[in-house]
């Protein structure tokens, strides 16, 4: 069966997707897994230091996971081909961590009971990175992030819209800082 796979199937993007899916399976099979791996008050009160990272891999449901992994697969593989696997993983994890921490700092002052989960902040950071380098796509990327942030709110879905915008900004800044 493995002989049907080629080396190109084992991209860093696909490895991140696999880890995220496995993490979701673990999360839903552990009592309070969403609270354990999401980013919430336990981070501050009980010292759950792993939450800023694990929140990127935790998700609020199978549809949430599926949407995020599709977008990660679509854009992650393109970005990875452009900058290489190591730089892509660094981009994803560093900007994802920063987006998680800044999103938590933002929402913590508004609502102490929030539980942040999902890869969309890190994915929006990837798009911010692309927006820096590809000025022709910048307007479309911003429009897309506005759409994925506002449309779910209009229909009543509880999403962390602010993480999308924070991620966009973090990704853009990351591109500026790491530009050579």
CA 152 vs CA 28, 92, 161: distances in Å: 23, 24, 9
Of 138, 91, 90, 108, nearest to 39 by C-alpha is 108
CA 25 vs CA 20, 33, 39, 61, 159: distances in Å: 9, 10, 18, 10, 21
Which of these is catalytic: 100, 120, 149, 163? 120
3-class secondary-structure state, position 165: helix
Structure tokens at 97: 């961590």
Which of these is catalytic: 54, 59, 163, 164? 164
- Residue 100 annotated as catalytic: no
- Could you tell me which residues come within 8 angstroms of residue 46 by beta carbon, excluding any fewer than 6 positions away? none
Which string of b and e fits 27-52 if b means at least 16 CB within 10 Å? beeeeebbbbbbbbbebeeeebeebb
Of 46, 8, 33, 19, nearest to 122 by C-alpha is 19
Positions marked active-site: 120, 164
């Amino acid at each position: 069966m493995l002989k049907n796979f080629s080396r190109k199937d084992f991209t860093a993007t696909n490895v991140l997707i696999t880890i995220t899916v496995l993490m979701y399976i673990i999360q839903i099979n552990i009592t309070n897994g969403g609270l354990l791996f999401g980013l919430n008050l336990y981070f501050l009160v009980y010292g759950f230091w792993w939450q800023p990272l694990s929140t990127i891999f935790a998700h609020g449901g199978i549809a949430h996971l599926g949407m995020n992994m599709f977008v990660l697969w679509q854009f992650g593989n393109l970005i990875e081909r452009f900058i290489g696997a190591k730089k892509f993983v660094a981009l994803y994890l560093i900007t994802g961590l920063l987006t998680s921490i800044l999103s938590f700092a933002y929402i913590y002052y508004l609502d102490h009971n929030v539980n942040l989960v999902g890869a969309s902040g890190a994915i929006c950071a990837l798009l911010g990175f692309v927006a820096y380098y590809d000025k022709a796509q910048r307007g479309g990327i911003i429009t897309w992030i506005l759409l994925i942030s506002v449309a779910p709110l209009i229909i009543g879905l509880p999403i962390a819209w602010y993480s999308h915008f924070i991620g966009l900004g973090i990704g853009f800044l990351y591109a500026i800082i790491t530009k050579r």
